[in-house]
Amino acid sequence: MSKKDGWAAINLEMPEIVPRFEPSAAEYHWELVQKVTGIDVDVDSSEKRRLAATQTFVKSWDYGIYFGCLIGPDELSTKRTYMGHAEYAQRGRDFDDQIDCPFDEPEDVLNFDPWEAYGERDKGQLVERFNKHYRQRCDLFPTVVNTTGIYITLLTGMEIIFGWEMLLKAAALDSERFGQVVNRYASWVKQYYEAVAQSEAEVIYSHDDMVWSNGPFLNPKWYEKYIFPNLRELWEPLRKEGKQIMFVCDGDYTQFASDIADCGNDGFWFEIFTDLEYMTNNFGSSHFLIGNLDTRILTTGRKEEIKEEVERCMRLGKPCPGYFICTSGHIPPNVPVENALYYNELYKKLRSRRDY
């Protein structure tokens, strides 16, 4: 009944259980996947075998929703910065030491024109790309609520294009001109939002890492002027078509949650850094909420600490009709299998709202 419960939560209909989602566990933590599914699989297995194991794991752990996002960094590949990538996947298969920036100085950033760099997209082709991606996700994972969406919305797009060093230098040199860069980029990325609004997908994944773990990295007044008006404009086609908008952001965006809600989203995904109590108190009856279990505790904590953390999330989340429990920071391969399995035991024991 995971899909039914997922839809009920998204529609704020208070399912009898708290549904769940665990990003990365099903596609990266192969030791856990093997333990749960009984399928002999690891990072070196064939793509077909890994996919079969992932599908089995998603069903076994009873996901209510499974994020899918089509538009990522590859859309910006004709001109972007490469900042390398630390090890996350099993055996460090995602480690990348490529460091390269096509921008020589901050002035190059401030003069950047995304229309010139990336060009206009064919809307019909974009709609078909979104539909194809969404249908594939539904075929692969029929027991959950599926999504398609856009990863490179605003500041995430800036981070990928310019890299952190050039982004921060340009913003410090002239925050107003950097804001105009964001405006130009928003006008370009809106092509994708207009297209996904015409797609078959009912829930749209809209990602933007606009903060760090300790909050905003630029003046909050700047966000008010350049980020939230653009976000509202990007989401307008989705609202007109009745799509469910799921905002996804790492770090601590507690202070911006009301600004984001005013832009028109229906749900929030958030990490441990964003205050769950604040989110449940302020948006628990109006938005679906996904998050906030601390991966650090799951990685290094004792059983008592893991139990306390799951109980904390359930205590705050259960009164909210649209709450999904989710491990913030994901369940990467360095999480001990026994801890992940214990967390799953706790989830199954505590997920019912009948005792609430």
Q: In the predicted model, is pLDDT for residue 90 greater than 60?
A: no
Band of pLDDT at residue 302, cut at 50, 70 and 90: very high
**pLDDT of 30 over the 80 cut:** yes
pLDDT score recorded for residue 329: 80
Question: Stretch 336-355: mean pLDDT, rounded?
Answer: 95
pLDDT value of position 88: 55
Encode pLDDT of 4-24 as tens digits. 999 999 999 999 999 999 988
Task: State residue 59's pLDDT score.
Answer: 96
Lowest-confidence pick of 229-243, 254-268, 321-335:
321-335
Query: What is the value of pTM for the model shown?
Result: 0.95
For the segment 106-111, the average pLDDT, to the nearest whole number, is: 98
Residue-level pLDDT at 192: 98
What is the pLDDT, as a whole number, of residue 354?
Answer: 86
For 64, counting Cβ atoms within 10 Å of its Cβ (0-12 exposed, 13-18 middle, 19+ buried), the class is buried
Of the two residues 181 and 1, the one the predictor is more confident about is 181
Residue 166 has a CB neighbour count (10 Å cut-off) of 22
Reply yes or no on whether the pLDDT at 95 is more than 60.
Answer: no
What number is the average pLDDT over the span 216-223? 97
Residue-averaged pLDDT of the chain: 95
Helix, coil or strand: residue 140: helix
Mean pLDDT confidence for 50-76: 97
Q: Write out pLDDT tens, residues 266-298.
A: 999 999 999 999 999 999 999 999 999 999 999
Look at residues 231, 79, 92 and name the one whose alpha carbon lies nearest to residue 155: 231
Domains of the chain: 1-64+294-356 (no CATH), 69-89+97-251 (3.20.20.210)
The span from the CA of 225 to the CA of 229, in Å, is 7
- The amino acid at residue 122 is D
Q: Which of 11-15, 91-95, 134-138 has the lowest mean pLDDT?
A: 91-95
Task: Report the pLDDT value the prediction gives residue 330, as an integer from 0 to 100.
Answer: 87
3-state helix, strand, coil in the chain (%, to 5): 50, 15, 35
d(CA 67, CA 206): 11
Q: What is the dihedral of CA 124, 246, 161, 166, to 10 degrees?
A: 160
pLDDT of residue 23: 85
Tell me if residue 126 falls in helix, strand or coil: helix
| 345 pLDDT above the threshold of 80 | yes
The beta strands (E) that lie in the chain are given as 20-21, 65-66, 82-85, 96-100, 145-146, 148-150, 203-207, 211-212, 215-216, 244-248, 267-269, 288-290, 293-294, 323-328
Predicted confidence at residue 87, as pLDDT, reads 57
- Distance CA(81)–CA(97), nearest Å, equals 13
Determine the pLDDT at residue 38: 98
Q: Which of 23-27, 74-78, 156-160 has the lowest mean pLDDT?
A: 23-27
pLDDT value at residue 82: 86
Which residue's entry shows tokens 């998204």? 10
Phi and psi for 333 in degrees, rounded to 5? -65, -15
pLDDT band at 91, cuts 50/70/90?
low
